[in-house]
Structure formats: structure tokens, C-alpha cells
Amino acid sequence: MLKKIGQIFFLVLLFSGVAIVQFSFVLALPSVFNQINLTVIVLVFTLFFFGLRPALYAAIILGGWLDLYSFNFFGLYLLLFCLTVILVNWILKAWLTNRSLYSFLLLMLIATLTFGLASGFLFYFSGASSGGFFLWSGAFWSKLFYQAVWSELAGLLLFSLTGATARRFQPFFLEKR
């Protein structure tokens, strides 16, 4: 019981830290580096290696913190993260037959694109975006491109580190019966 409480407390602290680092530290970095979307990277990593339940906890904690500090409507980030987790989970279960590096990178890419496009729509229709329609904006696509590149690089690094650290996380194939 105590161990479980300790684990939950650790997860809450970890995801809260990621959220604070994302909106305070990452966005203050120079232009190319501030496109890293740590929250999506952590979300996909959690889903891929630890399952849906921890990923949903992560989505709620990350979304809660970002909504707390954001001046957009409360619930925007909660909605975005939950949507991303649900979609990526469905793709993992329905389409991917193994837990390999390629499937992890594919999920990371899909998650980044989903989050980027969904946030674009929500920012635009909530009036938070200051320009014209975001799909016609070069800055939007440039930002999405850099986010995808950083996500893939981070995915590669995390997968390699995790595989080297524990046998449990080494890739395996699922046989379809």
C-alpha cells in the first residue's frame, strides 16, 4: 500500500516537473530549441512502455498544470493530451504488431502531428491565435516540423536508453492468433 502511494506520489512529482520545465524553461530557450514538446514525448513514452493507465494519469497531470498557467480556456490542454493519448493508444492496439523502435518513432510522429494540428484548431477557434487561419501560416508548419524532428530524436534516445537499461523494455513481437 505504502509502495503504491509512493509510486503515485513520484509519478505526480515527475509529470508536474515535466510540465513546469516545458512552459518555463523550454519556451525561454533560443528559437530552434524552444520547439521541443517535452509533454508529448513523455506522454508517448509512458504509453508505449508503461501502458494506458499511467499515460492517462500523465495526460491529466500535464494538462492540468498547463491549463493552470495558461490564459486560454481551462481544459484546452487537458482535452489535447487526452485526445492524443486515446488516438495513439488506438493506433498502437489496432495497427502495430510489435513494440519496436520503428513503431515507437511512428507513434511519436503521429502524436506530435495530432497535438500540433489539434492545438492549432483549438487555438484558432478559441480566438487565442492572433493571425489568419493557421493552416496557411508558414510559421505553424515550421514549428510543427521542428517539433517532429525533436520528438523523433528524443524518441530515438529514450528508446535506446530504455532498452539498454532493462530487459523488460526490449522490443518484442506479438503473434497474431
Partner 1 sequence: MVIIKKNRLIISGLIIAALLFFSHLIGILRPVENFLFYLTKPIAGRFYKTGTDLKIAYDESNTQENLNAKVERLTKEVAVLTVADSRSLEIEEENRKLREALKFVGNNNSRVVVASVIAKEAAAEDSLGLIINRGAKDGLAAGLAVVSEEGLIVGKVLETKDTTAKICLTTNRNCQLAAAIQNSNRTQGITDGDLGLTIKMNYIPQLEKITPGDIVITSGLGEHIARGLVIGRIATVYNESNEVWQSATIEPLVNLNNLTIVAVIIP
Interacting residues with partner 1 (CB under 8 A): 16, 20-21, 23-30, 52-53, 56, 59-60, 63-64, 67-71, 74-75, 78-79, 82, 85-86, 89, 119-120, 123-124, 128-131, 134, 137, 139-140, 143
* Least separation in angstroms between CB 160 and partner 1: 25
* Least separation in angstroms between CB 71 and partner 1: 4
Supply 69's cell numbers.
Answer: 498557467
At 98, give phi and psi (nearest 5°): -145, 165
Cβ proximity to partner 1: between 52 and 153 the closer is 52
Cβ proximity to partner 1: between 11 and 21 the closer is 21
Burial of residue 82 (number of CB atoms within 10 Å: 0-12, 13-18, 19+): middle
At 111, give phi and psi (nearest 5°): -60, -45
- For residues 88 and 111, is the Cβ–Cβ distance under 8 A? yes
* Least separation in angstroms between CB 170 and partner 1: 25
Cβ proximity to partner 1: between 9 and 102 the closer is 9
CA dist list (Å): 53 to 10, 14, 43, 121: 15, 16, 11, 27
Q: How far apart are CA 98 and CA 139, in angstroms?
A: 35
Residue for cell digits 504488431?
A: 97
* Least separation in angstroms between CB 171 and partner 1: 24
Cβ proximity to partner 1: between 23 and 162 the closer is 23
Q: What DSSP state is assigned to residue 98?
A: B
Cβ proximity to partner 1: between 30 and 167 the closer is 30
* Least separation in angstroms between CB 3 and partner 1: 22
